[in-house]
Structure 1
């Protein structure tokens, strides 16, 4: 019998999803985006939200529509080998390669370094990941720990900070520093990694919903969608508030030229003084811990399934935590600098697959997916190479290239070409 949906269940699962999405990238990027966008802060924020939460929600909706609650539901049309490669790259990006190390690095630079400048990053990150390991090693408890205990503290501290900034703005919002808030918002949205994470998080959220009794197809889909909407609403409010706070620093000379973490520290100190720095430390700690827990758990489950159980969940989690500990000590700026080209390469192809997944009932030829995806990846690769000084700058003349979407038209062309290539599977 189909279980009737309970608001309390949806709130807990949605709160957990919110907390897992709202991690290091989500915390540090909106304020700088707001400062750079100035009077166009809402436009920058809107595109940030669309290419972060919006597309993450689209990915979840696509998986629910197909009735497949795992990453393969998006990538399986590419064939076994390409699908496995894409899945592994996505999981590594949101796992030990980029996202998980960034959680510890962000926590240290924002929550620890301003208060204890001489404290060792190696010691702190070891403590941080010891906590992550302890809370991740038992997957059945992960979502309830995050949703029921950590999320309320995270939300309250953030809302206090935002409300204070709205009541007492730091300064007037001036003309934008950047002339392209659309592209800036889009690229910042990529950096949060939430689109990639959504295809992994859906597994743990689905498992949680099933554990609460939503086992039937319709009730399960409805619970996942309702929880996703709860998380999206919360993220819209928090993202918008942080972007606005950044926009109010446009005219403050002492806040110009700061990186993502330093600007967030400066804003909080201006709003609350030294007490604010402590408050920010609490915000960062819970935001990054919850994300690291969710990502580590999902990564462990993915590779255990990929290896057919030959590598256990516990072993994967331990490897992920240790590797993330080592990478995290490179610092936030280095991790972001390293991640930008990789994400700009991976995202367009994944976005093509997500969008086309909505039309899976109408698409009979899998080569439509494949050629469209390959064309998007190729154009993205050419853009990255141009950034390194190689003679591939002609891609900047493609339609929508100034907005950061040079891959869209080639993907459409690739899909059309794929339609006329016979498919053998």
Structure 2
């Protein structure tokens, strides 16, 4: 094996570990159970946003300066900072960090200690988070290196047992929009957000191995991404299949309860305990990393006016409060936020691959702001109150019934500005972000 192939495998496994989050394991089984015989299109939709988009996001930010802020600043610098703040808050105290605590409680504590107070647990959990965040130690990194293989081996064992000895047969659940359900469920992994924030780390790791040419870095990133995607597809696809064959289990089980019940049926109490411990510890390491990321980002964004330690403490306190909503309520709370943020990220990633053909920021502004407008109107109409005149117009757009009403306006308006620039020799340059 050549050195280049070894490096591709190393980076590929690193990408796999980055996206193989314990919190994400609760989504495919529930998706599969809801889809039944439509599990294949459901998991394809999930893989597009849960695996494909994060990998494209890493490539996109590598083309644009190394992080989401640099990519979004092609619209304008204020928008770049605004979107980066929104993503960090979502990955931090609003959704992702609280969900790690809630998932740990529901999968590792409640099944074995049902009377353990969730508020007391969350206080202990975030006390440990702060200990490691405020006084960094190599211990947590070493734990993380051990946990990923343990978690992976546990999941492969569960999936193999469920495939060789299915719990039941695929049933028709009556759902006919399984692909779009999987696509939007993939938003909940939040991996595309994480990729746009952490993409620079992967690119830096490739450069550190001695690769300096842009074309070669892109090639390694793509091929490593294929390695990671293959691994994630096996895990997510397998878990979705287990959910699809678990039609006999109650449909009203929470996501953590469903995967716990499936594991218990296949491997017994010992398997359930191993899964709970591995998931709980993996969630803790994820929470520590995200809390530190939030502290560093907002401290830097405020030019040091907000201290790193103060931000980390505030993040932990807010996360503790939200974590006691429980996993399913946190997911419900996150849905409208993600339905606004994700379409913007998808459009920005798509435009990054067309950037060399774009002459002005107007194309970015037109496509992104139209996406924001349609997404906000759609979310308002779905979760709060319909807006007279505007909501019916948005609901009448192509693909709106499938949740993709923003695509047509983004493409149309982006193309209009592109044609204007091309045929009128519009020369106003894009504003490039600099740190």
User: Normalised by the size of structure 2, how large is the TM-score?
Assistant: 0.87
- Asked if residue 126 in structure 1 is aligned to residue 123 in structure 2, the reply is yes
Runs of 4+ displaced beyond 6 Å: none
Contact 1:386–1:393 (8 Å) recurs in 2: no
Contact 2:99–2:330 (8 Å) recurs in 1: yes
> How many angstroms does 1:382 deviate by?
1.4
Counterpart of 2:56? Answer: 58
Contact 2:147–2:278 (8 Å) recurs in 1: no
**1-side partners of 2:271 and 2:299: how far apart?**
42
Contact 2:62–2:199 (8 Å) recurs in 1: no
Contact 1:107–1:284 (8 Å) recurs in 2: yes
- Asked if residue 394 in structure 1 is aligned to residue 389 in structure 2, the reply is no
Equivalences for residues 192-341 of structure 1 within 5 A: 192-206=189-203, 213-214=209-210, 216=212, 218=214, 224-225=221-222, 227-250=224-247, 252=248, 254-341=249-336
> How many angstroms does 1:351 deviate by?
1.0
**2-side partners of 1:126 and 1:15: how far apart?**
34
**1-side partners of 2:137 and 2:274: how far apart?**
30
For the residue of structure 2 that corresponds to 1:279, the secondary structure is helix
> How many angstroms does 1:368 deviate by?
0.5
**1-side partners of 2:379 and 2:160: how far apart?**
40
- Asked if residue 84 in structure 1 is aligned to residue 58 in structure 2, the reply is no
Equivalences for residues 71-220 of structure 1 within 5 A: 71-137=68-134, 145=142, 148-206=145-203, 213-214=209-210, 216=212, 218=214
Taking a change above 3 Å as real, the CA distance of residues 299 and 225 of structure 1, as seen in their structure-2 partners, is farther
Contact 1:59–1:195 (8 Å) recurs in 2: yes
- Number of aligned pairs? 418
Counterpart of 2:363? Answer: 368
Note the aligned Cα RMSD (angstroms): 2.8
Contact 2:68–2:80 (8 Å) recurs in 1: no
> How many angstroms does 1:316 deviate by?
3.4
> How many angstroms does 1:386 deviate by?
1.7
For the residue of structure 1 that corresponds to 2:116, the secondary structure is coil
Taking a change above 3 Å as real, the CA distance of residues 146 and 302 of structure 1, as seen in their structure-2 partners, is farther
> How many angstroms does 1:290 deviate by?
3.7
Equivalences for residues 40-59 of structure 1 within 5 A: 40-59=38-57
Counterpart of 2:66? Answer: 69
> How many angstroms does 1:158 deviate by?
1.0
**Post-superposition CA distance 1:238-289 (Å, at most 9, x none):** 1011100000012x1x422222122112111211222232122024214423
| Farther off after superposition, 57-66 or 414-423 | 414-423
Counterpart of 2:402? Answer: 403
**2-side partners of 1:10 and 1:142: how far apart?**
27
**1-side partners of 2:41 and 2:281: how far apart?**
28
| Farther off after superposition, 99-108 or 396-405 | 396-405
Taking a change above 3 Å as real, the CA distance of residues 80 and 342 of structure 1, as seen in their structure-2 partners, is same
| Farther off after superposition, 144-153 or 130-139 | 130-139
> How many angstroms does 1:48 deviate by?
0.4
Contact 1:16–1:143 (8 Å) recurs in 2: no
Gaps of 5+ in 1: none
| Farther off after superposition, 296-305 or 380-389 | 296-305
Taking a change above 3 Å as real, the CA distance of residues 82 and 65 of structure 1, as seen in their structure-2 partners, is closer
Counterpart of 1:26? Answer: 24
Gaps of 5+ in 2: none
Contact 1:171–1:249 (8 Å) recurs in 2: yes
For the residue of structure 1 that corresponds to 2:170, the secondary structure is coil
**1-side partners of 2:136 and 2:357: how far apart?**
37
> How many angstroms does 1:139 deviate by?
7.0
Contact 1:98–1:335 (8 Å) recurs in 2: yes
Contact 2:154–2:274 (8 Å) recurs in 1: yes
Taking a change above 3 Å as real, the CA distance of residues 284 and 85 of structure 1, as seen in their structure-2 partners, is same
